[in-house]
Amino acid sequence: MLPSCVRSMCKKSPKKILGLMGRQGSIVAQKGSTVAQAQFETQPFKLHKLTEAPATQVTLTRDEALEMYTQMHTIRRMETAAANLYKEKNIRGFCHLYSGQEAVAVGFKHALRPQDSVITAYRAHGWTYVMGVKPLGVMAELTGRQTGCARGKGGSMHMYADNFYGGNGIVGAQVPLGVGIAFAAKYKNTDGVCVTLYGDGAANQGQVFESYNIAKLWNLPCIFVCENNGYGMGTSTVRSSASTKYYTRGDYVPGIWVDGMDVLAVREAAKFAIKHCATGQGPIVMEAQTYRYSGHSMSDPGTSYRTREEVQEVRQTRDPIASLKEKIISSNLVTAEEIKKVDAQIKTDIDTATEQAKKDKEIGLDELSADITANHLGSDIRGVSIFAPLKHKRIGPAINLK
């Protein structure tokens, strides 16, 4: 059975869902066979304790269109490659795929300013990539190689980049951290905001509510983003949450709902939320309604609590990449040939990164005992037998202290 949120979205005609309100993409300037920019209509936003809403008429330039498409498709390809690497047993740890949710990370990225920060949970591959790590940095982290963005020490759930405070492994645990990061931004007067992501499952963790309170109490620039993909592990939202209106669950914190399958809508909502925080109005909660195609993790086939038909239906009617592709081609922002070229390039890039991620070296065994503390006060690390004596060592300065 479809969760009611998915059902209600699918009732609308596919054309409307894709934002193709007839041929309304208004052409502004001709550039060969393509136009420089076009306008689209997004689904209306839902508001909680807000008087103004973001515009539903959005403008997209040709360059933005190509970049968004490239980023989303790269994430999709990376995740497909990650699934294969996991099945080939090249990935240790647990592996949670982002396929289906790409529009959230990419839409947000197109609104973020250099001073803004992001922290998320363990479904981190896509976010790591948009925050600046190249596919090899993600893929090699997955396979535990030294070319990975955390030199293979973190793996799937723990990836990092500038202004990206990571992948965090425990459900909901990153949410209070995001509030702390927002506090630091305010205290240091950076004008930055912190995008603090969690899922519909984590939305029921007690510390999320502690975080809402602190953020509002101290008026911190924190954007709480609930990526609602319909299922907290194997339990649907309606079976886990007394209120599935996640954008209202901050109570006294204003909230906004956005169609998380529409990258343009996400970008508008993100801009709106950043402005809200950056103008001193305190935190805001955003619910991005999205969907994950894979199971919760690779050990979950994802079919014991939902039907294959449901997944297929979303793929066919709401896929964020297919819908963007259709929009930008039909509005002449990008030609079908260009898309084909981009697709081919992405395939080559990801294939190359995947092969490299299998071949690269692991870090040395001496790093088993590296970076446990800033400076180890004892001599050797205790508990290691004598044919592998381990000294503590520290490798490089922390990225956040640079």
Partner 1 sequence: MVLNKIVKLGGEVLQSAVPLKNKSQRCASHFVYSPDSNSTIKGDRTKMNMFQAINNALDTALKTDPKAIIFGEDVGFGGVFRCTLDLQKKYGKQRVFNTPLCEQGIAGFGIGAAVAGSTAIAEIQFADYIFPAFDQLVNEAAKYRYRSGNLFDCGKLTVRSPCGAVGHGALYHSQSPEAYFAHTPGLKVVVPRGPIKAKGLLLSCIRDPDPCLIFEPKVLYRMAVEEVPTDDYQLPIGKADILINGSDLTMIGWGTQVHVLKEVADLLKEKHSISAEVIDLVSILPWDVDTVCKSASKTGRVLVAHEAPLTSGFGAEIAATIQENCFLKLSAPVVRVTGPDTPFPHVFEPFYLPTKWRCLDEALKLIDY
Contact residues toward partner 1 (CB under 8 A) are 88-94, 143-144, 152-155, 157-158, 169-173, 201-202, 204-207, 232-235, 239-241, 299-300, 304-305, 358, 362-363, 365, 368-369, 372, 381-388, 390
Query: In whole angstroms, how close is the CB of 368 to partner 1 at the nearest point?
Result: 4
Query: In whole angstroms, how close is the CB of 164 to partner 1 at the nearest point?
Result: 18
Q: Indicate the residue among 63 and 355 with the shorter CB distance to partner 1.
A: 355
| Eight-state DSSP code of residue 364 | P
Is 392:373 a contact under the CB 8 Å cutoff? yes
Is 105:75 a contact under the CB 8 Å cutoff? yes
Report how far apart, in Å, the C-alpha atoms of 340 and of each of 79, 317, 322, 336, 345 are: 19, 21, 13, 6, 9
Closest to 168 in 3D by CA, of 361, 91, 276, 177? 177
Q: Indicate the residue among 130 and 202 with the shorter CB distance to partner 1.
A: 202
Q: Indicate the residue among 119 and 261 with the shorter CB distance to partner 1.
A: 119
| Eight-state DSSP code of residue 57 | E
Query: In whole angstroms, how close is the CB of 21 to partner 1 at the nearest point?
Result: 38
Query: In whole angstroms, how close is the CB of 382 to partner 1 at the nearest point?
Result: 5
What is the distance between the alpha carbons of residues 245 and 256, in angstroms, rounded to a whole number? 10
Q: Indicate the residue among 242 and 402 with the shorter CB distance to partner 1.
A: 242
Query: In whole angstroms, how close is the CB of 249 to partner 1 at the nearest point?
Result: 12
Closest to 257 in 3D by CA, of 268, 216, 99? 268
Query: In whole angstroms, how close is the CB of 180 to partner 1 at the nearest point?
Result: 17
DSSP per-residue letters across 161-224 = BTTB----SSTTTHHHHHHHHHHHHHHTT----EEEEEETTGGGSHHHHHHHHHHHHTT--EEE
Q: Indicate the residue among 206 and 396 with the shorter CB distance to partner 1.
A: 206
Sign of the four-CA dihedral 217, 218, 223, 226: negative
Q: Indicate the residue among 66 and 83 with the shorter CB distance to partner 1.
A: 83
Q: Indicate the residue among 40 and 247 with the shorter CB distance to partner 1.
A: 247
Amino acid at 248: T
Structure tokens at 146: 């030294």
Task: Kindly give, in sequence order, each residue whose CB lies less than 8 Å from that of residue 383, ignoring residues fewer than 6 positions away.
Answer: none
Site of tokens 């925080």: 277
Query: In whole angstroms, how close is the CB of 157 to partner 1 at the nearest point?
Result: 7
Sign of the four-CA dihedral 179, 183, 184, 189: positive
Query: In whole angstroms, how close is the CB of 362 to partner 1 at the nearest point?
Result: 5
Q: Indicate the residue among 336 and 368 with the shorter CB distance to partner 1.
A: 368
Q: Indicate the residue among 189 and 304 with the shorter CB distance to partner 1.
A: 304
Site of tokens 């922390």: 398
Query: In whole angstroms, how close is the CB of 129 to partner 1 at the nearest point?
Result: 19
CA-based end-to-end distance of the chain: 50
Structure tokens at 349: 């890039």
